[in-house]
Structure 1
């Protein structure tokens, strides 16, 4: 009985882990790059920030500001903050999701 429960827990964990990683791969990074170039690069070229230089899209800065996740980046792109305008009315949800994944991917690779 205990062995069966243990196996079920392991299988459940594998399923959860696999699904969470599939969502990251479901994003279209090429499309995200296009959205970034068309909407974000004016201020964030190369992961920098021309308006607030200390708020870059570099991994360590995103981590320090609790922005190192697709959900945090998506929220900020959709709603804006400080000098950054909200793009929720201008971009489709898929565009925002793809650009958030692109930003996270680029920050992971060092821009």
Structure 2
């Protein structure tokens, strides 16, 4: 009986860790990182380099950048005129920036 109980507990623990979401990103911390690293080109959700590719909700959807994973990949690796921030920002900071961008896009950058 004790062995069965241990196996059940182990199974629950494995299931919990395997299917739990990663630590929640912090949009408030993301705001600070965004202001220090991104606002030069993306103030108010705009894009000074390519006016069509803003951080507004419609543009994020149009260019398939409307998920945290897509934004994290873009910020980490860069693309085109956007520099890569891998090595300059910690992964948690990049996750926070993604959370901030998605939050602001949902609020139309207000």
Q: TM-score, normalised by structure 1?
A: 0.78
**Rg larger for:** 2
Higher helix content, 1 or 2:
1
Give 4+ residue runs of structure 1 displaced > 2 Å after superposition: none
Cα shift at 1:96: 0.2
| Unpaired segments ≥5 residues, structure 1 | 1-14
Match 2:52 to one of 40, 51, 54: 54
| Unpaired segments ≥5 residues, structure 2 | 1-15
Q: TM-score, normalised by structure 2?
A: 0.78
Deviations 1:54-81 (A, max 9, x none): 1000000000000000000000000000
Question: How far apart, CA to CA, are the structure 2 residues paired with 1:99 and 1:37?
Answer: 10
RMSD of aligned Cα (Å) = 1.5
Q: 2:66 aligns to what?
A: 68
